[in-house]
Structure 1
Amino acid sequence: MANKKTHENRHLKRFYYTVDHAVEKPFNWQQMWRLLRYLKPYSKTYLPGAFIAMMVSTAVRLIVPILIGKVAFDIVIAHEDTTMLTYMVIGIGLLYLLSYIGNAFRIKWVNILGQNVIYDLRQHLFSHIQRLSHRFFDSRSGGSIIVRIMNDTNSLQELFTNGIINLLMDIVTLIGIIVILLVLSPKLALAIMVILPIMFYISTKLRRNIRRSWQDVRIQQSRMNSHLNESIQGIRITQSFSQETANEEYFDGVNTDNFKSWRIATKKSAMFGPFVEMSNALGTIILIAYGAYLILLGEANGGIAIGTFVSFGFYVGMFWEPISRLGQMYNQLLMAMSASERIFEFLDEEPNVVDKRDGVDLPEMKGHIAFDHVKFSYDTERTALHDISLSIQAGQTVALVGHTGSGKSTIANLISRFYDPTKGAVKIDGHDVRDVRLQSLRSQISVVLQDTFIFSGNIMENIRFGRPDATDEEVMEAAKVVGADDFIQRLANGYETEVEERGNILSAGERQLLSFARALLADPKILILDEATASIDTETEVKIQTALKRLLKGRTAIMIAHRLSTIRESDNIFVLENGKILENGNHDELMNQQGEYFELVKSQFQMLDAM
């Protein structure tokens, strides 16, 4: 028992910072209308066709019971009119054929409509997320984002493929039945419908609980998918530390929560069906009892004919069917509302870094970078940079060194404008980066990270990602310059070799070489190397250093490195600590000062000697 409690506490703790929370809200009709606006592009094509087809099939369903009751019993049987019987049978047959054609087209058009709407919604969501700032991704796991794009969007598919048209069909059917019943016999109609207010009151009470339950289902699915994504991405770490059993136990907890949420939601939703069946039973009892009395009373004394009673029997059976479906439809709407809330939460996110309305394109860079009293914080609790002022001349190669968390990568992020300074300004060639358009800025900057990302596809496509319009020859030349061509040629299919997800068939050093080729193919004016040689062995590093001497000529380069041997040739070295610049100068100048840089170099040599 104690172990279970510990497991549950760990399970809760792991999701302490999740962004998904159950929220108690009323049904948001404004949000529903917002969702329905995705139907607008199809309002002149598939939607009208589906609506007309639905009206045709609904009209047939409403006409046939009158033909069977009033014509068959009150005319054909009463007067033994076989000719009328023949006409009636042929007429009903033709009506059912018309209904079949209408239903066929309705199903076809609503499915095309639904698939198009889901495509548009998913495309809109993905495109929006692509343009959100880094702060958005800092606080959300990849799994939770995938859930919004895939699962939550898929949960709206039933609503758009069948739900909306079926909702209209059921409403039209209900209104038609009520009108026909009131015309046939107001007394009997009112007697049967007396239970509707009771049914409405009880069903209203169920709505809030049902909606919260489906909202919780979405949250648990998001958590489970986040954990799955994390587990699959980190499987090598899990196996290297022999934590498979612990991970299975943890997944069991997440899976159990998901199972419980589904069980509770479906249990509450299932209560509506039997309730409607009970209402149907009560309506049938009232029909038989009071309807029989009205037949015995006779039409002359305010009663009804047998044909009217028969028609009533058909319509009462039809009456509770759309009510039951409307209950199910309401559950579907609740699920759709939970999903749409989560989708619109992302769509309502605004990027922190955006182009100004009067932003201009940055001219071709020379590469001069200046930080003017820059202060920056990722959050309110910790300042990453304190009043940083520095100048990097065009064509210079500078290095940023310091302990982890000293602010090196933050400076690189501000140059690419992944974040905006809290105070001060970052300028390139005298232009404040906030005044120029992002595309014109980032298209002239290349960044190579320590944790390089290789996309699924072949090697040629991965290198060309830096410049999609590059020729095969240009791609191969970039690979040769950084020393990647040697290992690529040794692969079975050379540049056409499929690298699989995240470049799994390649070593860490080979992936890094590809990222170098990708960055250099883009021909940037500013090149940022953020621990870019950390995953490369000494022999490969020598090759890259030789290539970089040629490639960095005429470019501004910012090198971030813990391995100080890679930055000895830099024109200027900035030593940072706790978001402040302690000292700067070239390697020889800093060594002569015997300050913080001197201590860093000495400590690294001591570590090498100890090895």
Structure 2
Amino acid sequence: MRETVWRGRFDEKSDDDSPIDEKLPRRREARELLFSLLRPFRVTVAVLAVIVVVENAARLSVPLLVQRGIDHGIPPIAEGGPARELALVVAALCAVVAVQAVGRVVFLKRSGQVGQKVLLELRRRVFRHFGRLDVAFHDRYTSGRVVSRSTNDIDAIQELLQNGFDSLVTAVLTMFGTAILLVVLDWRLGLMCLVAFPILVLLAAWFRTESAKTYREVRDSAALVIVQFVETMTGIKAVQAYRREERNQEIFDGVADRYRDINEKTFKLVAVFMPGVKLVGNITTGVVLLYGGYRVLQGDMTIGTLTAFLLYLRMFFEPMQEITQFFNTFQSASSALEKLAGVLARPPAIADPPRPVALPRVRGEVRFAGVGFEYVPGRPVLPGLELTVPAGQTVALVGTTGAGKTTIAKLIARFYDPTAGAVRLDGVDLRDLAQDELRRHVVMVTQENFMFSGTVADNIRFGRPEATDAEVVAAAQAVGADRFVATLPDGYDTDVAKRGGRLSAGQRQLIAFARAFLADPAVLILDEATSALDIPSERMVQRALRTVLADRTALVIAHRLSTVEVADRVLVLEHGRIIEDGPPAELIRGDGHYAALHDAWVRSLV
């Protein structure tokens, strides 16, 4: 039974099945992304490649020097002659070891610097791009997957940059270098050893193919574990309030089990590949030792040559372990890079025009000209809205849930673009404005009133980071927030804690109003800004509301009609259409929808 539960969850959240997620394969985009990150360092990368070649050449020369010392340095000493040849060999050996050590130090230092710069640029790109993507994307792309892309996937790429390429280059140079040297040392033994090479190639090809498929599943499963964990911990209050601990634990157990199973598959692949390589290597070494020993006894080969041959043979098979590790790292990083490339390749649905129109002076007139909009094709939310809000007017939008109120607000803020018609600011289509300019003139305050980590002052100046302390205090005073700020332990320097947890709902609302007041937009949108407040807090906010709305165009969305009282005009919406329009006092005297809503609200207060 549990299998069905968690597999359904898995299928629902799977990156591959998601209609908005990165589609596989993204190999071309992943390669382009990697090359673009490394392009600024191509000279350094070329120098590092030379260092690796020199370092490995020094390492490969060690067995040859050992052979020289055994065959040409020791015999003269044994016969009572000078030790000059052996001294030269030892000196050369010390020199190549020093070259190898210095090369390794330089490589690790420089490659580490390049790797960290690449990762920094990648993190910046991912963060910047997530910030540019439209609200519709973030509505459907879970926060857990965002976390997975920016942490888990980048960590996999970091491991590749730190160890992967170095291991691969070293292993390839060692394998081909030793293969050549084996043939040069003794062509008969060399060709005998190279018989094992096709077997190793087949093993490596099999491992690469299987691990590529497995590691994509690993990345998907890892993302699901993060998604479930983040969603549960973010909504822990709701989880505990509705006694969902066991259910969420069951779901988490399911995705965690899947993650374990897929990781076990990777271990099984390694369990076949590594012993297979060792088996081939040990058999080859045994054959070489028998045949080489026989030839030494026959006088066809020197002991030094056989010793060098065995050392090179060990070098020949050792890189297979490094190649295996590289495949593990590479497949993990490749899958992660494909995920990131998929996100980075996704263009924002809301983009700046090629030639933005400048608005030297904004009055704040808003006009909906035949605006149609639908979240789901074929299901219109706004069938063709015609609406003009003169500059400086405060308009309240009321109506049942799903009437289109918040959709109107999101279209004015350009979180979405209309599917038909146009939304205009002072006669200019919002799609013809640069987003930076639009956001400077249009601000939306929602009921969430999100508080960011930092102080009260930091949160007030969120929309104007350059604002002075005096301007921050003035904004707080204008909306009446200075009274409660004065009671905080450190005043404006008080840390608001996670998501403003140190503040009450009313206090967070006042800070949001102070933030909007300081930003000083021409058009202000309040979406259910007082819905979460109790009566005393609402009255406190109502006083601030009149100050915030003064001298600017405002749209107020509210279920509480006490908030509507500040409006110059009320629009009653139903199914995306305006069914009543007029001053609140005039509509109350009538017998329409707003009058009925007002009467019901008054009776609820008794």
TM range (shorter): over 0.9
Q: Which residue of 2 aligns with 1:323?
A: 320
Q: Summarize the alignment of residues 176-215 of structure 1 with structure 2, pairs less than 5 Å apart.
A: 176-215=177-216
Q: How many pairs align?
A: 598
Secondary structure of the equivalent of 1:413? Answer: helix
Q: Which residue of 2 aligns with 1:20?
A: 15
User: Structure 1 residue 247 and structure 2 residue 248: aligned?
Assistant: yes
User: Structure 1 residue 512 and structure 2 residue 502: aligned?
Assistant: no
User: Structure 1 residue 62 and structure 2 residue 60: aligned?
Assistant: yes
Secondary structure of the equivalent of 2:554? Answer: strand
User: Structure 1 residue 355 and structure 2 residue 352: aligned?
Assistant: yes
The structural deviation recorded for 1:227 is 1.5
Q: Summarize the alignment of residues 342-491 of structure 1 with structure 2, pairs less than 5 Å apart.
A: 342-491=339-488
- Cα separation, 2, equivalents of 1:411 and 1:27: 37
- Cα separation, 1, equivalents of 2:172 and 2:15: 35
Amino acid at match of 1:41: P
- Cα separation, 2, equivalents of 1:282 and 1:607: 89
Q: Summarize the alignment of residues 187-336 of structure 1 with structure 2, pairs less than 5 Å apart.
A: 187-296=188-297, 298-299=299-300, 304-336=301-333
Map Cα deviations across residues 376-405 of structure 1 (whole Å, 9 max, x no partner).
Answer: 011225322111110000000001111111
**What is the aligned-residue identity percentage?**
38
User: Structure 1 residue 140 and structure 2 residue 137: aligned?
Assistant: no
The structural deviation recorded for 1:526 is 0.5
CA contact 2:33–2:341 (8 Å) conserved in 1? no
Secondary structure of the equivalent of 1:570? Answer: coil
CA contact 2:14–2:224 (8 Å) conserved in 1? no
- Cα separation, 2, equivalents of 1:30 and 1:343: 9
The structural deviation recorded for 1:113 is 1.8
Amino acid at match of 2:313: V
Secondary structure of the equivalent of 2:355? Answer: coil
Q: Which residue of 1 aligns with 2:334?
A: 337
Gapped regions of structure 2 (runs ≥ 5): none
- Cα separation, 1, equivalents of 2:189 and 2:411: 76
Q: Which moved more, 1:530-539 or 1:417-426?
A: 530-539
Q: TM-score, normalised by structure 1?
A: 0.93
The structural deviation recorded for 1:48 is 4.2
- Cα separation, 1, equivalents of 2:476 and 2:158: 45
Secondary structure of the equivalent of 2:326? Answer: helix
Q: Which moved more, 1:222-231 or 1:244-253?
A: 244-253
CA 1:517/1:270 → structure 2, altered by over 3 Å: closer, same or farther? farther
Amino acid at match of 1:114: G
Amino acid at match of 2:438: L
Amino acid at match of 2:509: Q
User: Structure 1 residue 124 and structure 2 residue 121: aligned?
Assistant: no
- Cα separation, 2, equivalents of 1:330 and 1:408: 54
CA contact 2:397–2:558 (8 Å) conserved in 1? yes
CA contact 1:110–1:165 (8 Å) conserved in 2? no
Amino acid at match of 1:50: L
CA 1:545/1:114 → structure 2, altered by over 3 Å: closer, same or farther? same
Secondary structure of the equivalent of 1:452? Answer: coil
CA 1:26/1:401 → structure 2, altered by over 3 Å: closer, same or farther? closer
Q: Summarize the alignment of residues 82-97 of structure 1 with structure 2, pairs less than 5 Å apart.
A: 82-97=83-98
- Cα separation, 1, equivalents of 2:410 and 2:14: 24
CA contact 1:49–1:106 (8 Å) conserved in 2? no
Q: Which residue of 2 aligns with 1:9?
A: 4
User: Structure 1 residue 562 and structure 2 residue 559: aligned?
Assistant: yes
CA contact 1:155–1:339 (8 Å) conserved in 2? yes
User: Structure 1 residue 174 and structure 2 residue 154: aligned?
Assistant: no
Secondary structure of the equivalent of 2:364? Answer: coil
Q: Which residue of 1 aligns with 2:43?
A: 44
Amino acid at match of 2:48: A
The structural deviation recorded for 1:541 is 2.5
Q: Which moved more, 1:151-160 or 1:573-582?
A: 573-582
Q: TM-score, normalised by structure 2?
A: 0.94
Q: Which residue of 2 aligns with 1:158?
A: 159
The structural deviation recorded for 1:166 is 2.5
- Cα separation, 2, equivalents of 1:242 and 1:550: 43
Map Cα deviations across residues 98-136 of structure 1 (whole Å, 9 max, x no partner).
Answer: 222221222222222212211111111111111011121
Amino acid at match of 1:267: K
Secondary structure of the equivalent of 1:421? Answer: coil
- Output the aligned Cα RMSD: 2.1
- Cα separation, 1, equivalents of 2:532 and 2:23: 49
- Cα separation, 1, equivalents of 2:218 and 2:413: 39
CA contact 1:374–1:423 (8 Å) conserved in 2? yes
CA contact 1:362–1:437 (8 Å) conserved in 2? no
CA 1:32/1:189 → structure 2, altered by over 3 Å: closer, same or farther? farther
Amino acid at match of 2:56: T
Secondary structure of the equivalent of 1:499? Answer: coil
The structural deviation recorded for 1:510 is 1.1
Secondary structure of the equivalent of 1:378? Answer: coil
Gapped regions of structure 1 (runs ≥ 5): none
Amino acid at match of 1:469: E
Secondary structure of the equivalent of 1:601? Answer: helix
Map Cα deviations across residues 295-335 of structure 1 (whole Å, 9 max, x no partner).
Answer: 45544xxxx33322221111000001112211221222111
CA contact 1:482–1:547 (8 Å) conserved in 2? yes
- Cα separation, 2, equivalents of 1:472 and 1:422: 43
Q: Which residue of 2 aligns with 1:576?
A: 573
Q: Summarize the alignment of residues 516-531 of structure 1 with structure 2, pairs less than 5 Å apart.
A: 516-531=513-528
Secondary structure of the equivalent of 2:357? Answer: coil
Secondary structure of the equivalent of 1:528? Answer: strand
Secondary structure of the equivalent of 2:353? Answer: coil
Amino acid at match of 2:546: K
Secondary structure of the equivalent of 2:196? Answer: helix
Q: Which moved more, 1:515-524 or 1:273-282?
A: 273-282
CA contact 1:458–1:495 (8 Å) conserved in 2? yes
Map Cα deviations across residues 411-434 of structure 1 (whole Å, 9 max, x no partner).
Answer: 011111111100000011000111
- Cα separation, 2, equivalents of 1:33 and 1:16: 30
CA contact 2:460–2:514 (8 Å) conserved in 1? yes
Q: Which residue of 2 aligns with 1:35?
A: 34
- Cα separation, 1, equivalents of 2:25 and 2:346: 22
- Cα separation, 2, equivalents of 1:517 and 1:17: 41
